[in-house]
Structure 1
Amino acid sequence: MSAPLTTEQRDLADAVADLMAKRSPETEVRRLMATDTGYDPAVWSELAAMGLLGLAIPEQFGGSGAGTVEIELVAEAMGRVLLCAPYLSTAVLTANLLVALGDSAEQADVLPRIAAGSFITTVAHAEPGTARPGSATATTARADGAGWRLTGTKTYVLDATIAQRIYVTAGTSVFAVEPDAPGLEVVALATVDPTRKQGQLTLTDTPARLLGSADTGHTALAAALDRASVAMLGEQAGGAMQAMRMAVDYAKTRFQFGRAIGSFQAVKHLCADMLLEAESALSAARHVAAAFEAEEPDRLRDLALAQAYCAEAFVTVAANSIQVHGGIGFTWEHPAHLYLRRARTDAQLFGDPAWHRERYVQLREARP
C-alpha cells in the first residue's frame, strides 16, 4: 500500500489531468501521429510553464526537485490521453541521467534548458536485438586527442529525430553527441505505436564528449532507467484505467437484443476483470513511486515486480477493451487500438516482463 496523496499532489494531478483533456484529445493525438516530429511545440511550452519539465531537475538548475510520486502522477495523466510529446525521453530519462552522472558542466548547460522547454534530448542505450537494460553493448569508443570517437548502432531511441543532443552509451561510459555530428545517421523507425516516435542511430567514427568519468556511466544509466521506469508504471496504469473506462462506458450505451451489452454476464465479468487489473496496476505504480521517494531498501525489487505486472495488465486491459467494443473496436477510426499499441511498446521499452521477473528473483535471492 502507498501513502495517501497530499493536498498538493492531488492538486497537481487534477491540474495536469485538466490540461491533458484540453490539449490532447483524440483528434490531436491522431494529427501528431501523422507528423514527423510527433509533438506540438505550443503544448511543450505549456508543460514547461507549469513546471512539469523540471520535476526531476534540482532547483539549482531551474527545476523544482520534485519527488517520484509527482512524476508518476504526471505520467498517469499523460498515459490516459496518450500524450504525444518527448516528455519521457527529455524530462524524465535524460534529466535523471544527467543528475546521476554528476557532470556539473553538462548539468549547468542542459538542465535549465530542459526545464524551460527549449531543449529536447534523448538517451541511446539499446542496441539491435534487445532493449533489456544492462545488456552488453557493441558500440565502441576510442580516444581521439581531447575527445572521443564512437562507432556502433543504437535503436529504439525515443524522439531520436528531433533531439538536439543525444546521450549515447558505450561500454561503461556515457557520451554526448550532437545531432549534426559527422558520421552520425539518424533514421525514424516504423513502430507498432505511432503515438511515440522512435529512431535508430548509426555512428561511424562519430565525435563525442565523455560525460563524468569513464567507468561510472553504466551505474548512472541504471539509476536513470529505474527512475524512468517509475514514470512508465504511471503511464501504463493511466492507460489501463482509460482503456477500461472506454469499455465500461461502451458497455453501458451499446444495446443488443433490447438491453445494454454490459448487462450480459460475460461482458460484465470481463469489465470487472479489467477494473481489477487496472486498479491493481495503479496501486502498484503509486506504491513504487512512494518507495523510491522514501528510498525504501526494497524499492528495486518492488519496481521489478511492478514492471512485470503493469506491463501485462496494460496489454490485457487494452486487448479486452477491443473485445468489449466488438467490431468497431477493430477499426482504425476507433481509439481502442491506440491503447493496445502503446501497451505493447511500453512492455518492451525498458525491458520485457520476463526480464523484470528475472531481476526480481535475483534481487530477492541477494537480499540478506
Structure 2
Amino acid sequence: MSTPDNDLKPEEFGQAAAAAIADAQTHNFRESGQVLANAGLTGVCAAEDAGGLALGIEFALPIVAEAGKLRLQWPLLETILVAKALADSPLAAELVSGARVATWALQGTLKEGFAGHARHAPQCDWVLVADGDGGAALVDIASIEVQNDPALDPEHPQSWLALDNAKVLATLNAEAFTALRREVHILIAGLANGAAEGALNTTAEYMATRVQFGRPLSAKQAVRHLLARMRLLQDASNAGIERLLSADEYGSVRRTEPMLTTTLANAAFVLEKAIHLHGGMGFTWELPLHVALREVRKFDAAFGSGALAQQTGRDFIQSV
C-alpha cells in the first residue's frame, strides 16, 4: 500500500464495509462474493502481490463485526484468513478477486479422514482442514463428500466432510497454522460480538418506541435493568477482544481461549434476552434474531459446547 498503516483507522473499515455487506445480501452466494471482493473486503489482510491490502488482523475485525451485526450468511472471516495464509500464491489471488470462496473446518483432521463445522461448505470451492500433525491443508471441496447437518440450523446447516479422497491444493506448517488459529478465534469472537451488538441496538430502539399503558417499554425499571446488563456484557466483550490485539505486560501474545469462550457466552445471553424483550418476535423472519443466535450456537458447538470453557478453567488452575 502507498498509505502507511498508521494513517488508517480500523473502525473506518467497518463503517465502509457495512454498505458492501448490505449490498451483498441482496445477491446470491456467488454474486455476494464478487460484491465483497470488489469492495476489497476479502483481501484486507492478503498480500499485496495477491491483490490484497496486506493489513493486520485489527483491520479485518471491524469488517467481520459488521458482518455479524448485519447477519451476513457468507464465509467472509474464513476467506479473509485463508487468503492471508496463502501469502502471494495464485490461490490467494483467486480468493481476493472473488473467483473462489474458502471456508474452514473447525473440527476433525485430514489424518482422521473427516472434518466438520465448516460454514457454507457446499457453496464453497475450498476448505481449510487441520492435517493432524500441527499444520493444515487446503482441500478442494469438489474432491470430497459433503454431508449437511441441519440439527442447529435448518436454513444454513453445518457440514461434515469425508476426506478419504481429498485433493490437497496447499499446506500450512505448524507455526503458520498456530498463528492463523489465534486469528480465527479473534474474528469469530468479533463476529459473535457484532451479532449481539446488532441485536442490542434493535432491542433498545424497539423498547424506546413500543408504547404500552401510555409510556414506552424502556421506561419500565425491569426492562432498563436487563438492557443495562446486556450493555455491560457487550462492553466487556469489546474490551476483551481489543485487548487481544496488543501484547501483555511481559510482551507476550495473549491467549485467545478465555476471551473466545466469554464472548460466545455473552453474545448468546444478549441475543436470547433480545428475543425475550421482543416478546418472541425474534423467532420470526420479520425480525430474524434467531439467525444470529443460531450462528453463535454453531460456533459454540464447533468448540465443544462448553468444552472450551472447561479447558480454559483447567489451564488456569494448572497455571497457578
TM-score bucket of the superposed structures, by smaller chain: 0.7 to 0.9
| Structure 1 partner of 2:15 | 14
Cα distance in 2, alignment partners of residues 55 and 164 from structure 1: 20
> Which residue of the partner structure matches residue 78 of structure 1?
67
Partner of 2:105: 124
Long gaps (5+) in structure 2: 1-5
Asked if the contact 1:72/1:233 (under 8 Å) is kept, the reply is no
Q: Report the equivalent of 1:115.
A: 96
In the alignment, the residues of structure 2 paired with residue 122 and residue 58 of structure 1 have an alpha-carbon distance, to the nearest angstrom, of 19
Q: Indicate if the aligned counterparts of 1:247 and 1:325 stay in contact, CA closer than 8 A.
A: yes
Q: CA deviation at 1:209?
A: 3.8
Give the 3 Å change call, closer, same or farther, for CA 232–195 of structure 1 in structure 2.
farther
Structure-2 residue corresponding to 1:187: 147
- The answer to whether the aligner puts 1:159 opposite 2:120 as a matched pair is yes
Quick one: which amino acid aligns to residue 116 of structure 2?
Answer: T
Question: Which residue identity does 2:161 align to in structure 1?
Answer: L
Distance 1:175 1:97 in 2: 11
Instruction: Find the partner of 2:161 among 194, 201, 215.
Output: 201
Distance 1:286 1:121, change over 3 A: same
Matched, 1:355 2:308: yes
Classify the secondary structure of the residue corresponding to 2:46.
coil
**Greater length-normalized contact order (CA 8 Å, ≥ 6 residues apart):** 1
2:187 to 231, 240, 243: 231
Which residue of the partner structure matches residue 264 of structure 2?
311
Given the two structures, how large is their TM-score scaled by the length of structure 2? 0.85
Shift of 1:154: 1.5
Q: CA deviation at 1:8?
A: 3.2
Give 1:126 deviation, angstroms.
1.2
Counterpart-to-counterpart distance in 2, 1:195 and 1:223 = 32
- Report the Cα distance in structure 2 between the residues aligned to 1:281 and 1:21, rounded to whole angstroms: 24
Equivalent-residue separation in structure 2 for 1:121 and 1:91 (angstroms):
9
From the superposition, tell whether residues 347 and 164 of structure 1 become closer, same or farther in structure 2 (CA, over 3 Å). Answer: same
Give the deviation of 1:197 after TM superposition: 4.9
Q: Note closer, same or farther for the CA distance 1:186–1:115 as it changes in structure 2 (3 Å cut).
A: same
- Whole-Å separation in 1 of the counterparts to 2:9 and 2:60: 13
Q: Closer, same or farther in 2 for the Cα pair 1:199/1:277, shift >3 Å?
A: same
The equivalent of 2:200 in structure 1 is: 244
Flag the 1:166–1:11 CA change in 2: closer, same or farther, 3 A: closer
The 5 A counterparts of 1:1-368 are 8-24=9-25, 28=26, 39-92=28-81, 94-99=82-87, 108-124=89-105, 126-127=107-108, 137=109, 139-140=110-111, 152-172=113-133, 173-181=135-143, 184-193=144-153, 196-204=156-164, 206=165, 208-209=167-168, 211-212=170-171, 217-288=173-244, 290-291=245-246, 297-301=251-255, 303-350=256-303, 352-356=305-309, 358-359=311-312, 362=315
Q: CA shift at 1:273, angstroms?
A: 0.8
Scaled by the length of structure 1, what TM-score is found?
Answer: 0.75
Q: Please tell me the residue identity of whatever aligns with 1:251.
A: M
Q: Which residue of 1 aligns with 2:3?
A: none
How many Å apart are 1:44 and its aligned residue? Answer: 1.8
User: What is the distance in 2 between the residues matched to 1:97 and 1:53?
Assistant: 13
Name the CA distance, whole Å, in 2 between partners of 1:121 and 1:244: 30
**1:223-253 CA distance string (max 9 Å, x none):** 2221111111211221111111111111112
- What's the secondary structure of 1:291's corresponding residue? coil
- One-letter identity of the residue aligned with 1:299: V
> CA contact under 8 A between 1:174 and 1:210: conserved in structure 2?
no
**Cα RMSD for the two superposed structures:** 3.0
Go from structure 1 to structure 2 and tell me whether the alpha carbon gap of 1:280 and 1:193 turns closer, same or farther (over 3 Å shift). farther
SS at structure 2 position matched to 1:113: helix
In 1: Cα distance, 2:198 partner to 2:104 partner: 29
Give the secondary-structure state (helix, strand or coil) at the position aligned to 2:142: coil
Distance 1:154 1:254, change over 3 A: same
| SS of the residue 1:84 aligns to | coil
Measured in 2, the distance between the counterparts of 1:234 and 1:197 equals 21
SS of residue paired to 2:242: helix
How many residues align? The count is 314
User: C-alpha distance in 1, partners of 2:12/2:278?
Assistant: 33
Amino acid at match of 2:9: E
Distance 1:19 1:170, change over 3 A: closer
* 8 A Cα contact 1:72 1:286, kept in partner: no
